[in-house]
Amino acid sequence: MIYGSLWRLCLSHKSGFFLLFCSLFKSPVSGATKEKHVLQIGCGDGSWCVDMALMYPEWSVLGIDDTGPAPIQGKRTPRNFSYVRYASLLKGLKTLSDQQFDFVYGRFLGFYNKPAYYEKLIKECWRVCKPGGYVEMVELDMHIYGNPALGPMTHSLNGKGIFSSKVYVVLSNSVLMRTFFSVCIVVRKMKSRSIDPQVATHLQDFFFNELLGQPRIRGDGYSTHYISLPLGVWGGRLGVMFRDDLHDIIEYWEEEDDAIRTNQELDSALDTLDVELEREKAFMNLHYVYAQKL
């Protein structure tokens, strides 16, 4: 479970999440001055919850999680924010009452939950949401996009396992040959645990059964969309931040792998990857879905 918490920490506010969305959420939740109850599942270090509580002092914000360190309590911690840790997110949700929250939010839960479990989470989120309230989920597609002629390191991250005479020439350096597999660990490890690295691309499917049982949503009560995240200097400040996040994840999974590689070897592989990301103007897509419960 630790790897899920790591993703949530790496890809939350550290990467300018607020700058990317221009808001803390996309759902058209109204009534900033009215009392509302907000829930974030998989809250990580509580950054999003704290910012929500500070921005909307009339709202009560609850964060729940099943792993990682508890949010730091200090002078900045608002009184309208609370945190509870459970043995699992699903068990935690089941302890909450029906129709308890005006807004339920989660992000980056697909990195460590199998699709069947993810679907159960959505079902419980829908149950605890009040009629008229919103459920919103945000997930990252683990595929790297760009020029079709992606380099060998980028292909390995995508789990393509592409080998050709050209690739072998590029990897003829013994250090690169030994570290080539470092950057392909992420997707392959996820797949080995039956976790879908591209769950974000069909995020809306998890809402299907819940939406099927209610009247048709009209207006802005439902939306599914994605935002592209640049990877590298070519994308400016955000591009550098997201590239560094990608480094963090590769380095984490490298520690999870049984193979032993030196820091110098891994740094060499990441340098090669960075060159490819710049050359191909690579990017990843961040998907979100929100739906109103009627």
Mark whether 88 and 170 lie in a shared domain. no
| Number of domains into which the chain is organized | 2
Mark whether 68 and 181 lie in a shared domain. no
**pLDDT above 90 as % of the chain:** 38
Residue at 180 is within a domain: yes
- Cα–Cα distance measured from residue 39 to residue 81, given in angstroms and rounded to the nearest whole number: 10
Q: Give the mean model confidence (pLDDT) for residues 19-38.
A: 84
Mark whether 225 and 242 lie in a shared domain. no
Q: Please report the pLDDT score of residue 144 as a whole number.
A: 84
Mark whether 224 and 238 lie in a shared domain. no
Q: Please report the pLDDT score of residue 197 as a whole number.
A: 85
Average the pLDDT over each of 42-46, 112-116, 146-150, 166-170 and give the range with the smallest value: 166-170
Q: Please report the pLDDT score of residue 183 as a whole number.
A: 47
More confident residue, 58 or 32: 58
Residue at 147 is within a domain: no
Mark whether 163 and 268 lie in a shared domain. yes
Residue at 58 is within a domain: yes
Q: Please report the pLDDT score of residue 254 as a whole number.
A: 66
Q: What pTM was estimated for this model as a whole?
A: 0.84
Mark whether 114 and 180 lie in a shared domain. no
Q: Please report the pLDDT score of residue 148 as a whole number.
A: 66
Average the pLDDT over each of 64-78, 123-137, 194-208, 271-285 and give the range with the smallest value: 64-78
Average the pLDDT over each of 33-42, 95-104, 216-225, 258-267 and give the range with the smallest value: 258-267
- Give the residue numbers spanning the domain of 160: 152-188+233-279
pLDDT tens-place string over residues 215-228: 888 888 999 999 99
pLDDT tens-place string over residues 73-109: 665 789 999 999 999 999 999 999 999 999 999 998 9
What CATH number did the domain enclosing 131 receive?
3.40.50.150
Q: Please report the pLDDT score of residue 2 as a whole number.
A: 41
Mark whether 115 and 252 lie in a shared domain. no
Mark whether 275 and 221 lie in a shared domain. no
Mark whether 132 and 221 lie in a shared domain. yes
Q: Please report the pLDDT score of residue 182 as a whole number.
A: 46
Chain centroid to CA 49: how far? 16
